[in-house]
Amino acid sequence: MKVYQVKIEMKGSEPHIWRRVLVAANTDFQELHQMIQHVFHFRDNHVYMFSLPDHNLKVTTDEETLEVYGEYLANREQIEKTLGALATPFAKEQLAKYRTEVQRPDGLFIEPYVEPGICFEYVYDFKAQWEMVLTIEGTLEDYALNHPVLLAGEGAAPPEKIGGLQDFQDFLVAYQNPDHPDHKGARQWGLQEGFTDYNSEAIQERLKVWRE
């Protein structure tokens, strides 16, 4: 079975949070999203979007984005004519957004859209804005397992309810420093939310159980 070696990096994280995994070529975008959820120990409670600029494509569960694209398809001639006639920078920007194809993730396989060297973005929870960059580093043709495998990684993943990257970094300061006035509260909240340091064995088990 053909698989891709994918590096997933959380944008703006400090210390840097990243994972390297093997993902089957016959994975669809919904399964890719679920794999990311397991790798970062999120809970799959929010909408998400993949952006693939090389293919002028967005893949999302966001109904508003899907609806806007559907309206463009239904009224393409009129929208193109109106915005094209304006010829302003704003109109050109809006037209480019309209022309970006939008698809639902389930049943849309990643293989036609990815190859070694390509990078694309993933955003989970539009409010918290967990932004990640996925880089396709290479392929293997003779992969025998039936589940993704974690190859490497660094950095504890943020609890989903933390609020955002800056909130997570503030949490880490308190969590890791016994002398911090909020240390006890951070430890208690972290335990309640299942926060742990980076644990490759736990991630491997989640990936294995998910696909079985």
Answer yes or no: pTM beyond 0.85. yes
pLDDT in tens, 145-158: 888 999 999 999 99
Q: How far is CA 64 from CA 51, 52, 57, 141, 152, in A?
A: 16, 19, 16, 38, 36
**CA-angle at 108, arms to 104 and 110, nearest 5°:** 125
Render pLDDT for 55-113 as a digit per residue (tens, 0 to 9).
999 999 999 999 999 999 999 999 999 998 988 989 889 999 999 999 999 999 999 99
Domain ranges of the chain: 1-61+104-156+197-212, 63-102, 158-195
Tell me which amino acid residue 46 is: H
- Tens of pLDDT, residues 27-36: 999 999 999 9
Residue 211 has pLDDT above 80, yes or no: no
Question: In the 8-state DSSP scheme, what is residue 109?
Answer: B
- At the topology level, CATH places domain 1-61+104-156+197-212 in 3.10.290
Q: What is the pLDDT of residue 52?
A: 98
- Phi then psi for residue 140, to 5 deg, are -130, 140
